[in-house]
Structure 1
Amino acid sequence: MASYRIGIDVGGTHTDAVLLDEAYNVISEVKATTTEDVSSGIYQALKRVVAASGVPVEQIHYAMLGTTHCTNAIVERKRLNKVAAIRIGAPATTAIKPLVGVPDDLRSILGKHLYIVRGGNEFDGREIVPLDEERIREIAEELKGQVDSIAITSVFSPVSTQHETRAGEIVREVLGDEVAVSLSSEIGSVGLLERENATILNAAIVDVATSTANGFIKALEQEGIHADIFFGQNDGTLMSVEYTVKYPILTIACGPTNSLRGAAYLTDHPDALVVDVGGTTTDVGVLVASFPRQSSLAVEIGGVRTNFRMPDIASIGLGGGTIITLNEDGSFQIGPESVGYRLIEKGLVFGGDTLTTTDVAVALGIADLGDPSLVSHLDKEVLKKVYTKMVDMAEETIDKMKTSSDPVPVILVGGGSILFPTELKGASKVIKPENSGVANAIGSAISQVSGQIEKIFKTDELGREETLALAKKMAFDEAIQAGADPDDLVIVDLEEVPLSYLPGNATKIRVKAAGGLLSERKLTGAAPL
Structure 2
Amino acid sequence: MTFYRIGVDVGGTNTDAAILDVQAAHELTRGVLASHKAVTTPDITSGIEAAIVAILKASKVDRSRILSVAIGTTHFINALIEADATRLDRVAVVRLCGPFTRQMPPFSGFPLGIHNVLDGGAYYLDGGLEMDGRPIAPLNEAQVRSTARKIMASGVRAVALVGVFSPLDHDDIYEEKCNAIMLDEQPELRVVCSKHIGPTGFLERENATILNAAILRTGHNVKYGFKRAMKRLNLTCPLYLSQNDGTLIDAETAADFPIKTFASGPSNSMSGAAFLAGLHGEHPKVRSSTPSSLNGDKNEGVVEPQILVVDIGGTTTDVCALLPSGFPRQAPGFVEIAGVRTAFSIPEVVSIGLGGGSKVEIASCPSSSASSSASSSASSSASSPSSLSSSPSSSPSRSSSCTTSVSVGPSSVGHELLAQARVFGGPTLTATDIVVAEGSIQLGDASLVSDVPVETRQAARRKLNLLLETVIDKMKMSTAPVHVILVGGGSILAAEHIRGVDKCIHPIHQGAANAVGAAIGKICGEIDTVEILQGKDENAVIAAACEKAIALAVSKGAAADDVKIVEVNKMPLQYMSQVTIRIQIRAVGRPVVPVERSSSSPPLSLDSRPVSPLPSPLASPSLSHPHTHDDTVSDQQTDSDRINTSHASFPSSKPSLGVDIATYRPDVRDGVWYPSDIDLEFISTGCAILGTGGGGPTYYEYLKSLKALNSYSRGRMRIISPTSLKDDATVCLGAWYGSPSVINERLAAGHEIIDAINALNKMRNIDRFDGVLADEM
Cα offset, 1:477, TM superposition? 4.6
TM-score, structure 2 normalization: 0.64
* Residue 114 of structure 2 is aligned to residue 106 of structure 1: yes
Task: Give the SS at the match of 1:9.
Answer: strand
CA contact (8 A) 1:65 1:232 kept: yes
Deviations 1:61-96 (A, max 9, x none): 311111122112222323123432212224111111
RMSD: 2.3
The match for 1:8 is 8
The match for 2:52 is 46
The match for 1:19 is 19
How do residues 353-368 of structure 1 correspond to structure 2 at under 5 angstroms? 353-368=427-442
CA contact (8 A) 2:245 2:346 kept: yes
Task: Give the SS at the match of 2:143.
Answer: helix
Task: Write the distance in 1 (CA, Å) between the matches of 2:534 and 2:21.
Answer: 50
The match for 2:236 is 226
Task: Write the distance in 2 (CA, Å) between the matches of 1:314 and 1:505.
Answer: 39
Match of 1:170 among 161, 181, 185: 181
Taking a change above 3 Å as real, the CA distance of residues 426 and 159 of structure 1, as seen in their structure-2 partners, is farther
* Residue 612 of structure 2 is aligned to residue 524 of structure 1: no
The match for 1:506 is 580
CA contact (8 A) 1:411 1:430 kept: yes
Task: Give the SS at the match of 1:434.
Answer: coil
Task: Write the distance in 1 (CA, Å) between the matches of 2:356 and 2:430.
Answer: 7
Write out the 4+ residue segments of structure 1 that deviate beyond 6 Å after TM superposition: none
Which AA in structure 1 matches 2:163? S
Q: Name whichever of 516-525 and 342-351 sits farther off.
A: 516-525
Task: Write the distance in 1 (CA, Å) between the matches of 2:514 and 2:329.
Answer: 16
Q: Name whichever of 448-457 and 160-169 sits farther off.
A: 160-169
Deviations 1:161-206 (A, max 9, x none): 5432332232333344x54332222222332222111111111112
Match of 2:166 among 157, 171, 184: 157
Taking a change above 3 Å as real, the CA distance of residues 220 and 128 of structure 1, as seen in their structure-2 partners, is same
- Structure 1: give runs of 5+ residues left out of the alignment: none
The match for 2:414 is 340
Task: Give the SS at the match of 2:590.
Answer: strand
The match for 1:88 is 96
Task: Write the distance in 1 (CA, Å) between the matches of 2:523 and 2:516.
Answer: 15
CA contact (8 A) 1:367 1:418 kept: yes
Task: Give the SS at the match of 2:167.
Answer: coil
- The structure with more radius of gyration: 2
* Residue 394 of structure 2 is aligned to residue 394 of structure 1: no
The match for 2:359 is 323
Which AA in structure 1 matches 2:472? I
Q: Name whichever of 291-300 and 421-430 sits farther off.
A: 421-430
Cα offset, 1:454, TM superposition? 2.6
Task: Write the distance in 2 (CA, Å) between the matches of 1:512 and 1:523.
Answer: 32
CA contact (8 A) 2:90 2:119 kept: no
TM-score, structure 1 normalization: 0.93
CA contact (8 A) 2:407 2:463 kept: no
Task: Write the distance in 2 (CA, Å) between the matches of 1:367 and 1:388.
Answer: 18
* Residue 335 of structure 2 is aligned to residue 299 of structure 1: yes
Task: Give the SS at the match of 2:485.
Answer: strand
CA contact (8 A) 1:120 1:157 kept: yes
Task: Write the distance in 1 (CA, Å) between the matches of 2:48 and 2:93.
Answer: 33
The match for 1:495 is 569
Which AA in structure 2 matches 1:251? T
Which AA in structure 2 matches 1:155? V
CA contact (8 A) 1:73 1:208 kept: no
Aligned length, in residue pairs: 528
How do residues 169-248 of structure 1 correspond to structure 2 at under 5 angstroms? 169-176=180-187, 179-248=189-258
* Residue 317 of structure 2 is aligned to residue 282 of structure 1: yes
Taking a change above 3 Å as real, the CA distance of residues 139 and 471 of structure 1, as seen in their structure-2 partners, is same
Which AA in structure 2 matches 1:245? A
The match for 2:266 is 256
* Residue 348 of structure 2 is aligned to residue 312 of structure 1: yes
Deviations 1:480-508 (A, max 9, x none): 45443455422122223334444544333
Cα offset, 1:472, TM superposition? 1.7
The match for 2:389 is none
Deviations 1:18-71 (A, max 9, x none): 122232512221110011222211121122222222223222231111112211
Task: Write the distance in 1 (CA, Å) between the matches of 2:603 and 2:327.
Answer: 28
Cα offset, 1:393, TM superposition? 2.1
Which AA in structure 2 matches 1:223? L
Task: Write the distance in 2 (CA, Å) between the matches of 1:200 and 1:63.
Answer: 29
Q: Percent identity?
A: 41
Task: Write the distance in 1 (CA, Å) between the matches of 2:530 and 2:460.
Answer: 50
Taking a change above 3 Å as real, the CA distance of residues 468 and 341 of structure 1, as seen in their structure-2 partners, is same
Task: Write the distance in 2 (CA, Å) between the matches of 1:148 and 1:60.
Answer: 38
Q: Name whichever of 187-196 and 350-359 sits farther off.
A: 187-196
Taking a change above 3 Å as real, the CA distance of residues 153 and 473 of structure 1, as seen in their structure-2 partners, is farther
* Residue 72 of structure 2 is aligned to residue 34 of structure 1: no
Deviations 1:219-253 (A, max 9, x none): 11112221111111110110111211121111101
Task: Give the SS at the match of 2:106.
Answer: coil
Task: Write the distance in 2 (CA, Å) between the matches of 1:156 and 1:512.
Answer: 22
Task: Write the distance in 1 (CA, Å) between the matches of 2:10 and 2:232.
Answer: 20
CA contact (8 A) 1:197 1:305 kept: yes
CA contact (8 A) 1:195 1:308 kept: no
CA contact (8 A) 1:367 1:419 kept: no
Deviations 1:389-412 (A, max 9, x none): 322222222222232232232111
Taking a change above 3 Å as real, the CA distance of residues 421 and 117 of structure 1, as seen in their structure-2 partners, is same
Q: Name whichever of 444-453 and 154-163 sits farther off.
A: 154-163
Q: Name whichever of 375-384 and 215-224 sits farther off.
A: 375-384
Task: Write the distance in 2 (CA, Å) between the matches of 1:293 and 1:139.
Answer: 43
Cα offset, 1:427, TM superposition? 2.9
The match for 1:433 is 507
CA contact (8 A) 2:406 2:459 kept: no
Task: Write the distance in 2 (CA, Å) between the matches of 1:386 and 1:189.
Answer: 47
Task: Write the distance in 2 (CA, Å) between the matches of 1:8 and 1:115.
Answer: 41
Task: Give the SS at the match of 1:112.
Answer: strand
Task: Give the SS at the match of 2:563.
Answer: strand
Match of 1:119 among 121, 127, 142: 127
Taking a change above 3 Å as real, the CA distance of residues 380 and 189 of structure 1, as seen in their structure-2 partners, is farther
How do residues 133-148 of structure 1 correspond to structure 2 at under 5 angstroms? 133-144=141-152, 146-148=155-157
Task: Give the SS at the match of 1:143.
Answer: helix
Task: Write the distance in 2 (CA, Å) between the matches of 1:389 and 1:458.
Answer: 56
- Structure 2: give runs of 5+ residues left out of the alignment: 26-30, 284-306, 366-403, 608-628, 631-777
Task: Write the distance in 1 (CA, Å) between the matches of 2:132 and 2:118.
Answer: 31
The match for 1:64 is 70
Which AA in structure 2 matches 1:419? L
Task: Give the SS at the match of 1:217.
Answer: helix
Cα offset, 1:439, TM superposition? 0.6
Deviations 1:341-383 (A, max 9, x none): 1111111222211121112222223333222232232232343
